[in-house]
Amino acid sequence: MLSPAATQAAPPHTQSVSSRLAETRKHTLALAAPLSDEDQTVQAMDDASPTKWHLAHTTWFFERFVLEPHLDGYRRHDDAFHYCFNSYYEAAGPRHPRPKRGLLTRPSAAEVRAYRAHVDAGLNDLADRIADNSGEPARLIEIGINHEQQHQELILTDILSLFALNPLRPAYSKEHQIAWSERGQAAAAEWIAFPGGIRTIGHDGDGFAYDNEGPQHSVLLRPFRLSSDLVTNADWLAFIDDGGYQKPEFWLSDGWAKIKASGWQAPGYWETDEAGDWRQMTLGGLLPVDETAPVTHLSYYEADAFARWSGKRLPTEFEWEFAAGSNDGQRLRQLFGHAWQWTQSAYASYPGYAPEAGAIGEYNGKFMCNQFVLRGSSCATPTGHSRLTYRNFFPAEARWQFTGLRLAEDAS
- Contact, 194 vs 315, CB < 8 A? no
For residues 136 and 11, is the Cβ–Cβ distance under 8 A?
no
CB of 350 to a copy of itself, least distance (A): 11
> What residues make contact with a copy of itself under the rule CB under 8 A?
36-42, 44, 80, 83-84, 88, 90-91, 96, 100, 102-109, 162-163, 165-168, 170, 198, 217-220, 222, 248-249, 251-256, 300-301, 304, 344-346, 348-349, 351-352, 366-370, 396, 410
| Dihedral angle of Cα 321, 339, 178, 166, to the nearest 10 degrees | -160
Instruction: Output 129 or 273, the one with its CB closest to a copy of itself.
Output: 273
What's the start-to-end Cα distance of the chain, in Å? 48
Residue 217 CB, nearest approach to a copy of itself (Å): 8
**Closer to a copy of itself by Cβ: residue 280 or 343:** 343
Residue closer to a copy of itself, measured from CB, 90 or 204:
90
Identify which of residues 39 and 235 has a Cβ nearer to a copy of itself in the complex.
39
Q: Side-chain half-sphere of 44: how many Cα atoms within 13 Å?
A: 17
**C-alpha span between 206 and 355 (Å, rounded):** 18
Q: How far is CA 126 from CA 28, 110, 331, in A?
A: 20, 24, 44
- Smallest distance, Å, CB 320 to a copy of itself? 15
Residues 6+ apart with CB under 8 A from 85: 53, 56, 57, 59, 60, 95, 96
CB atoms within 10 A of CB 294: 26
Choose between 208 and 350: whose C-beta lies nearer to a copy of itself.
Answer: 350
Give the nearest distance from C-beta 297 to a copy of itself in angstroms.
Answer: 19
CB of 59 to a copy of itself, least distance (A): 17
State in angstroms the smallest separation of the CB of 236 from a copy of itself: 21
**Closest distance between a copy of itself and the C-beta of residue 76, in Å?**
15
d(CA 166, CA 385): 30
d(CA 253, CA 244): 15
Angle between helices 17-32 and 135-163 (to 10 degrees): 20
Sign of CA dihedral 212, 215, 220, 223: positive
> Is the CB of 24 or the CB of 343 nearer to a copy of itself?
343
Q: Which is nearer to a copy of itself, 124 or 166 (CB)?
A: 166
